[in-house]
Each structure stands twice: as structure tokens, then as C-alpha cells.
């Protein structure tokens, strides 16, 4: 198997559907961060238990890096729009 990357000049393709993490907080948080690499908006959700769990530290970190994030008071459903740009802070 060969894994082919890309040069970073464009984001990764966003899914056409909402990402349902069901009851996995780890999945929700990883994919929230990964979604900041997409050029398009990505919506993430989960079951009723997951929708009660806080995510504000991650959402604030993404906002501080220029990503547009909206949520239900820091809880799912979460919408991530805008691509984070890499580089170094000076």
C-alpha cells in the first residue's frame, strides 16, 4: 500500500455528510481538529450523551488559530469552517 500526501496548498476534502461520532468523545475531538484542515465547512455531532460533553478548550484553541467554529455552548453539534494555515508564529 502506498500513501500519497499533498503539498498543503489546498485543504483536505470535506465529507458531504455530517460526521456522527455517536458516543465517542475522542472521535469528536480528533475530527473537530482534522476538520480545520478542510476548505469547506464540516459539521460534527453525536448521540445525546456526547452532546452534553464540553469541548470549549479545543474550540477556543481553533478560534485563536483563525478557524471559524460554532457550537451549542461548546457542545455538539459543532460546525468547523475555514482552514487553519500552518506556519510559525513570531
**The pLDDT of residue 72:** 96
Q: Above 90 in pLDDT, residue 78? A: yes
What is the value of pTM for the model shown? 0.83
Considering the domain boundaries, does residue 13 fall inside one? no
User: Rounded mean pLDDT of 34-40?
Assistant: 90
| Within-domain flag for 1 | no
On the question of pLDDT at 30 being above 70, the answer is: yes
Q: Is the pLDDT of residue 21 over 90?
A: yes
The domain in which residue 56 lies consists of 19-81
89 has pLDDT over 60 = no
Question: How many domains does one find in the chain?
Answer: 1
Residue 14 belongs to a domain: no
Residue 88 lies in a domain: no
Closest Cα partner for 38 from 64, 60, 69, 61?
69
Cα atoms found within 13 Å of the Cα of residue 60, Cβ hemisphere only: 6
Q: Is residue 57 part of a domain?
A: yes
Please give the grid coordinates belonging to residue 64: 485563536
Amino acid at each position: 500500500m502506498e500513501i500519497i500526501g499533498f503539498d498543503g496548498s489546498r485543504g483536505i476534502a470535506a465529507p458531504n455528510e455530517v460526521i456522527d461520532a455517536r458516543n465517542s468523545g475522542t472521535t469528536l475531538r480528533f475530527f473537530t481538529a482534522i476538520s480545520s484542515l478542510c476548505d469547506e465547512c464540516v459539521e460534527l455531532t453525536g448521540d445525546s450523551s456526547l452532546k452534553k460533553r464540553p469541548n470549549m478548550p479545543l474550540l477556543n484553541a481553533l478560534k485563536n488559530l483563525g478557524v471559524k467554529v460554532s457550537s451549542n455552548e461548546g457542545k455538539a453539534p459543532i460546525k468547523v469552517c475555514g482552514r487553519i494555515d500552518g506556519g510559525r508564529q513570531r
